[in-house]
Amino acid sequence: MVIRNLHRLSRLFQPVSVVPKNAEVKRHDITSKSQRLMLELGIIRQASPGCFHFLPLGVKSLEKLTRLVDEEMKKIGGQKIIFPTLTNAKLWEKTGRLETVSSELFQIKDRHDQSYILSPTHEEAASNLLASLAPISYKHLPLKLYQITSKYRDEMKPRFGLMRGKQFLMKDMYSFDTDLETAKHTYDEICKSYDRIFRRIGIDFVKVVGCSGHMGGELSHEYHYKADVGEDKILTCNKCNYSANTEVSGEEKCPNCGNTSVKIHLGIEVGHTFLLGEKYSKPLNATFLNNHGKPDVLQMGSYGLGLSRILAAVIEVMSSEQEIRWPQILSPYSVIILPPKSGSKEETHIKDSGLVDSLYEKIETTCNLQDNVLIDDRTNFTIGRRFLEAKKNGYPFIVTLGKKIVENPLLYEITNLKTNETLFLSENDLMNYL
Ligand code: ATP
Ligand code: MG
Ligand code: MG
Ligand code: MG
């Protein structure tokens, strides 16, 4: 068995950097905890304000989130596609959004003077796709198309790392139905799927009534994580439990029952759903053939999840100032193995046995953790130092080959960062534990 280079820490491309503390920077450069940790630990690197390189650990985590989202989208019949990044500006002119959101749009021209936008979202593109076909039959509806791609917004204040970027990764789904009633049904189904995604990530979230804003439409909900660096204010009524973004109504009273006893907290918007009706399909002429064989306007919904923002937000919620923490399902690696320091008694003891490699292989195969086990093979460092670094990097399980590996029976030391417990286990017990 050859341990892939990637799974040896000494070979991992993880350029760490030092980020100045808030006290040392100008006011407009204030950082968030997640931003600082992700930069310091070589998970992302800033290319320019609001634009980031995703480094191997960041990509690994993002791939896990993508897989989770793909699984849930599949369960509700979502079909994955990719819209072009460049959208013809004329489509945005037709829906009026070229004007209403112009300040956030990146606009470019090709050599023939044709105008495009770097798409910040794809309602126009999705409607245009349907409009460009011979109208599809009502029998093929509802249709749920989604993609996971980069979006571009010329944000006034890009900040907090991945939280508010000029380029960021979004999962966006577009639904098409025959009438408003079935569109509402589809809307509820997709919201339930979002609930499942957030439950699987495992961080407490709130679903609130959202503001349709520039998007328009009939109905809208937002998903938020509570956090001090959240840029949205969420109102929750103490009486009827109604919850909404204060953008819906500024007043400090419940828009549902009028009660003035409300709680306000800050939230990070991580998802947003819209029941749009005909807002885009009508001006762009996206139609279907109804059961009388006549064309009718499609009823649309749109559903966004900020994947790169979710990564930053969960780290923001879970981490301390010094140590990063991941939801286990999104952690780049689940287990890190710390072999003894070179030249130590423990190392001499296991030198010829191939113990480290066989342990690695056993954990990967028996515990179904392929690609999820890392070996900190920098054995010129003490175990103590590597253990502290492993904690800082937030690997959920740290397996240390310490003093008890020279004893009989041989025991492994395992630290569970979630429960903060350390146990000494035989190989079998270790496999069961993991
Ligand atoms: P915000 O209120 O934070 O500006 P938004 O309401 O403009 O976000 P939507 O148009 O609803 O965002 O986009 C869907 C999702 O995309 C958001 O819920 C959020 O998770 C994510 N998102 C939006 N803008 C950004 C950004 N600049 N950087 C990272 N993620 C973003
Ligand atoms: Mg915005
Ligand atoms: Mg918003
Ligand atoms: Mg929104």
User: Does the C-beta of 168 come closer than 6 Å to ligand 1?
Assistant: yes
- Of the listed ranges 223-232, 247-256, 327-336, 409-418, the one predicted with least confidence: 247-256
Between the CA of 359 and the centroid of ligand 3 the distance, in Å, is: 47
Q: Does residue 1 register a pLDDT over 60?
A: no
User: Does the C-beta of 360 come closer than 6 Å to ligand 1?
Assistant: no
pLDDT, one tens digit per residue, over 49-105 is: 999 999 999 999 999 999 999 999 999 999 999 999 999 999 999 999 999 988 999
More confident residue, 30 or 408: 408
- The pLDDT of residue 255 is 86
What pLDDT band is residue 382 in, cutting at 50, 70 and 90?
very high
Q: Which of 123, 152, 163, 170 to mutate to test the pocket of ligand 1 (most atoms within 8 A of CB)?
A: 170
Q: Per the structure block, which two tokens stand in for 184?
A: 């509402």
pLDDT, one tens digit per residue, over 138-180 is: 999 999 999 999 999 999 999 999 999 999 999 999 999 999 9
Between the CA of 215 and the centroid of ligand 4 the distance, in Å, is: 9
What pLDDT band is residue 124 in, cutting at 50, 70 and 90?
very high
Torsion of CA 399, 402, 407, 411, to 10 degrees: -20
What is the residue with the minimal CA distance to atom 26 of ligand 1? 164
pLDDT, one tens digit per residue, over 208-251 is: 999 877 666 779 999 999 999 999 999 999 998 899 999 887 87
What is the residue with the minimal CA distance to atom 14 of ligand 1? 304
What is the residue with the minimal CA distance to atom 4 of ligand 1? 164
User: Does the C-beta of 271 come closer than 6 Å to ligand 1?
Assistant: yes
Between the CA of 268 and the centroid of ligand 1 the distance, in Å, is: 9
What is the residue with the minimal CA distance to atom 19 of ligand 1? 306
Q: Which of 150, 194, 269, 311 to mutate to test the pocket of ligand 1 (most atoms within 8 A of CB)?
A: 269
User: Does the C-beta of 123 come closer than 6 Å to ligand 1?
Assistant: no
Between the CA of 221 and the centroid of ligand 3 the distance, in Å, is: 10
Q: Which residue has the tokens 């998970």?
A: 43
What pLDDT band is residue 25 in, cutting at 50, 70 and 90?
low
Between the CA of 374 and the centroid of ligand 1 the distance, in Å, is: 34
d(CA 136, CA 133): 7
- The pLDDT of residue 353 is 87
User: Does the C-beta of 170 come closer than 6 Å to ligand 1?
Assistant: yes
What pLDDT band is residue 253 in, cutting at 50, 70 and 90?
confident
- Average pLDDT for 363-371: 95
In one-letter notation, the amino acid at residue 124 is E
Between the CA of 30 and the centroid of ligand 1 the distance, in Å, is: 20
- The pLDDT of residue 248 is 86
User: Does the C-beta of 201 come closer than 6 Å to ligand 1?
Assistant: no
Q: Does residue 325 register a pLDDT over 80?
A: yes
What pLDDT band is residue 27 in, cutting at 50, 70 and 90?
low
User: Does the C-beta of 269 come closer than 6 Å to ligand 1?
Assistant: yes
Atom of ligand 1 nearest to the CA of 158: 27
- Average pLDDT for 10-15: 95
User: Does the C-beta of 304 come closer than 6 Å to ligand 1?
Assistant: yes
159-177 in b/e form (b: 16+ CB < 10 A) is: bbbbbbbbbbbbbbbbbbb
More confident residue, 261 or 81: 81
Q: Does residue 308 register a pLDDT over 80?
A: yes
What is the residue with the minimal CA distance to atom 16 of ligand 1? 306
* Average pLDDT score over the chain: 94
d(CA 65, CA 72): 11
- The pLDDT of residue 111 is 98
What is the residue with the minimal CA distance to atom 27 of ligand 1? 164
Between the CA of 168 and the centroid of ligand 1 the distance, in Å, is: 9
pLDDT, one tens digit per residue, over 281-290 is: 999 999 999 9
Between the CA of 269 and the centroid of ligand 1 the distance, in Å, is: 7
- The pLDDT of residue 21 is 73
> What share of the chain in percent tops pLDDT 70?
95
User: Does the C-beta of 154 come closer than 6 Å to ligand 1?
Assistant: no
- The pLDDT of residue 251 is 79
Between the CA of 321 and the centroid of ligand 3 the distance, in Å, is: 27
- The pLDDT of residue 29 is 65
> What share of the chain in percent tops pLDDT 90?
85
Check: pTM over 0.90? Answer yes or no.
yes
